[in-house]
Amino acid sequence: MNITNNTNYSKNNKKQQKNIKNKKSQKNKNMDITYTEGFLKIATHNVRGFNNETKQKLFRTFYKEHKIDIIGITETKLNRNNSKICMNNIESYKTWWESAEDNPMGAGVGIMVKNDLSKYIHKVHKNKGRLIAIDMKFKGHSDIRIINVYIESNDAKKEERKETVKILLDWIHQGK
């Protein structure tokens, strides 16, 4: 009886340990969902101005905590000089920015890509502070083009809006 009990205990114990191990492994898996496991976490974020360093710091923490692989940022309102230094001290991400030379306050887009992923980028496209895109090549998979766009909100800028959509479509057709 005791032996049986012990055997059962031992069996149950092993089973319990296996369950705990599986749960731990599942927990770790859930916490670390990234491109390495076949997932890409992509986000778009309208920042309504990205000149403020405190704002940049808050977002830096947010992106890191949520383990986002690729972030498209819109309405940065950064001028060319500021975009050179924007988020440049962010560890684990590589960044690209595009500003409008004539009116940086009404435009600005960017893309942030995790360092480990950035090696798959073979081309970055930019246009007039409204469009930014990355072309990614993964071994054994189709190429991916990710486009981040900030369309003109002002109805007075109809022609500019048309032009942005036209370029967007050109980029879509190139990527197909």
Can you give the binding site for other proteins, defined by CB under 8 A?
42, 44, 46, 72, 74-75, 109, 142, 144, 146-153, 155, 158, 161-162, 165, 168-169, 172, 175-176
For the CB of residue 139, give the shortest distance to other proteins in the complex, in Å.
16
CA distances from 167 to 74, 78, 147, 152, 160 (A): 17, 21, 11, 13, 11
**Which C-beta is closer to other proteins: that of 41 or that of 94?**
41
Contact indicator for 117, 157 with CB cutoff of 8 Å: no
For the CB of residue 129, give the shortest distance to other proteins in the complex, in Å.
12
For the CB of residue 27, give the shortest distance to other proteins in the complex, in Å.
19
CA distances from 51 to 11, 64, 66, 92, 114 (A): 61, 20, 22, 21, 21
Read off the amino acid at residue 152: E
**Which C-beta is closer to other proteins: that of 5 or that of 142?**
142
